[in-house]
Structure 1
Amino acid sequence: MTWACGLLAAMWAVPAWAEKSDRSQPLNFAADSARVDDAQRLNILSGNVEITKGTMTVHADRVEVRQNTDGTQTATALGGPGGRAYFKQKREGMDESIEGEAEKVVYEGKDDTVHFTGRAVMRRLKGVTLTDEVTGQAIIYDNKTAVFQVVGNAGNTTSTKGRVRGVITPRGGEPTPAPAPKDKDVNLTPATGLSKPEGAR
């Protein structure tokens, strides 16, 4: 299973925004069954799959990891009938984490992207508080640039279910200025002891 573990570790490569200490953490996995196909360069974990590596957590019904001819890996996590695969990882240097769910989650090692397909959701959490959430039929996340694209159901033009939806919480910015004090009556009194300017009549 050494080769299989190596593929799993490569599959869940730690992205640039993730907790750096995760890189040196051991990868642990558990499943009801595992199969290694050396001829196809394929490793399959099936049934209640759980993968952890530092702060990273993956839950799925099935995980397939394939070694490509160019040396990169393609990994697919499936949620199973009616379910969704789940991914979560803490961000580096802050009390924030990113989590995502979809019927199918595919990591493409060649371009370092993660594709969430089918009832896809991505969330940003600050501590345990949800700050941002986007949903769509598909979400593509680029690990290199930390940019994600959300796609609705293009074939569904008559229902709101085909639309992309999201909630974004404002980030902390400049403090709101204090309200101006209410107008008050001002008593004006003439000045005394002032001499006229030189040359004045």
Structure 2
Amino acid sequence: MRQLPRYSLSTLTAAALLLAVALGAGPAEAEKADRLKPMNVTFDQGGQTDVANNRTEMNGNVVMTQGTMVLRAEKADIRETPDGYYQAYANGTSAKQVTFRQARDAPGEFIEGSADQLEYDTRADTVRFVGNARVRHMRGTLVAHEVTGATIIYDKRTEVFALEGGNSSPNPGGRSRLVLMPRAASAPEAPASSASAVPLQPSLTLQPRKPS
């Protein structure tokens, strides 16, 4: 996989630091056990393997899984590095983007995203969403935070997102966008307690008031 480009601090630092705090980076990372599990890939159409260069190409409804991580694309190119890591380049279509989903260590939480193209590097433990990119931090079925832009780079170890605007951003004017939901709004609604629904009882201590 090509080296990730360097961006100026003025472009990325504020958004990256803000998201690190918003996602609670530190105690809850992307599922750490996933990186130790085998990678499985299925696809519908043809493909080819270049043994000499440790490279495999697949086409048609490609589904790549590694533990809780699930990547879906129309076409994927996977390369093995000399030190045994994998670099995957995935492409979608105009009608169907590449999608990514992975659980966090926090129970019931996960990261999901989509883009025109996606680059997944198991050595750096990063996911690069390229073109009309959208990434969400989910708590169950509720959106806790959402980022959109032309390019989003997700560091799974630190859970920091770097955003870049541009012509392929889904937002007007090529801008990046960050939405932070209050924790109360993104938390599952607690069921009503039956103990709180106590019927009113007549008082036995009040006496009728005598006329003056």
The TM-score with structure 2 as length reference comes to: 0.64
Distance 2:56 2:135 in 1: 27
Q: Over alpha carbons, which structure has the higher Rg?
A: 1
Tell whether the 8 Å contact from 2:98 to 2:117 is kept in structure 1 after alignment.
Answer: yes
Distance 1:58 1:67 in 2: 17
Tell whether the 8 Å contact from 2:29 to 2:158 is kept in structure 1 after alignment.
Answer: no
Give aligned-pair identity as a percent: 39
Distance change (3 Å), C-alpha of 1:28 and 1:112: closer
Matched, 1:96 2:109: yes
The gaps in structure 1 that reach 5 residues or longer are: 1-15, 173-201
Tell whether the 8 Å contact from 2:152 to 2:162 is kept in structure 1 after alignment.
Answer: yes
Distance change (3 Å), C-alpha of 1:103 and 1:55: same
Matched, 1:29 2:29: no
SS at match of 2:157: coil
SS at match of 1:93: coil
Could you tell me which residue of structure 1 aligns to residue 166 of structure 2? 153
Distance 1:99 1:55 in 2: 11
1:51-87 CA deviation, whole Å, 9 max, x = no partner? 2333221110011111235654321111134431100
Distance change (3 Å), C-alpha of 1:155 and 1:90: closer
1:119-175 CA deviation, whole Å, 9 max, x = no partner? 00100111011121110000011122211111111799xx82411112111235xxx
Could you tell me which residue of structure 2 aligns to residue 111 of structure 1? 124
Q: 1:126 aligns with which of 136, 139, 157?
A: 139
Could you tell me which residue of structure 2 aligns to residue 192 of structure 1? none
Higher relative contact order (CA 8 A, sep 6+): 2
Distance change (3 Å), C-alpha of 1:74 and 1:20: closer
| 1:159-178 equivalence runs, <5 A | 160-171=172-183
The one-letter code matched in structure 2 to 1:37 is D
Say which structure is richer in helix: 2
Q: Which moved more, 1:118-127 or 1:66-75?
A: 66-75
Matched, 1:17 2:29: yes
User: How many residues are paired up?
Assistant: 155
Distance change (3 Å), C-alpha of 1:52 and 1:88: same
Could you tell me which residue of structure 2 aligns to residue 4 of structure 1? none
Could you tell me which residue of structure 2 aligns to residue 13 of structure 1? none
Q: 2:89 aligns with which of 42, 66, 76?
A: 76
RMSD: 2.6
The gaps in structure 2 that reach 5 residues or longer are: 1-27, 185-212
SS at match of 2:151: strand
Q: How far off is 1:23 after superposition?
A: 5.3
Distance change (3 Å), C-alpha of 1:38 and 1:25: closer
Q: Which moved more, 1:80-89 or 1:121-130?
A: 80-89
Tell whether the 8 Å contact from 2:97 to 2:114 is kept in structure 1 after alignment.
Answer: yes
The TM-score with structure 1 as length reference comes to: 0.67
Distance 2:37 2:154 in 1: 23
The one-letter code matched in structure 2 to 1:48 is N
